[in-house]
Amino acid sequence: MDAETIARLIDASFDVKEFAYSPYSKFRVGAALLCEDGTIISGCNVENSVYPLGHCAEKSAIGTAVSRGYKKFKAVVVSSDMKSTFIVPCGSCRQVLAEFGLDWLVYMTKPDRSYEVKKVRDLLPDAFEKTCLDHNDCQG
């Protein structure tokens, strides 16, 4: 992916992080998806006093993208305020990303705009995949 596109995605992820609702953890996260057609859709984490009801930034971005008709992605950038290490998607988000393919890119950033990049498949080895294309053939 070219440097300009990566920079635009990082900007979008950092920008949306500012809107994160994280009154409990104070851990702000932003995510920006690059759709197959070049559209960028972002999302931030939204916490809830009932912790399991909170929503991760990656899931927020995916949900928004799907609600707009997008289901094919080239990359996602995830950002936080952690300075000592790159932010990585949680296990649940890794599975949600894998739902939309294993060969797209995940850029994990630090506030200084440095990043590490991996494919979804590298973050979730042996991912649970949709293997039953004809539901009449499903067992169980």
Instruction: Quote the pTM value.
Output: 0.91
- Active-site residues, by number, are 58
Please tell me the predicted confidence (pLDDT) of residue 135.
52
Please classify residue 108 by burial: count the beta carbons closer than 10 Å to its beta carbon, then call 0-12 exposed, 13-18 middle and 19+ buried. Answer: buried
46 forms beta bridges with: 21, 55
Domains and CATH numbers, the chain: 3-137 (3.40.140.10)
The arithmetic mean of pLDDT across residues 48-68, rounded, is 96
d(CA 97, CA 90): 11
Other CB atoms within 10 A of residue 68 CB: 11
Please tell me the predicted confidence (pLDDT) of residue 129.
76
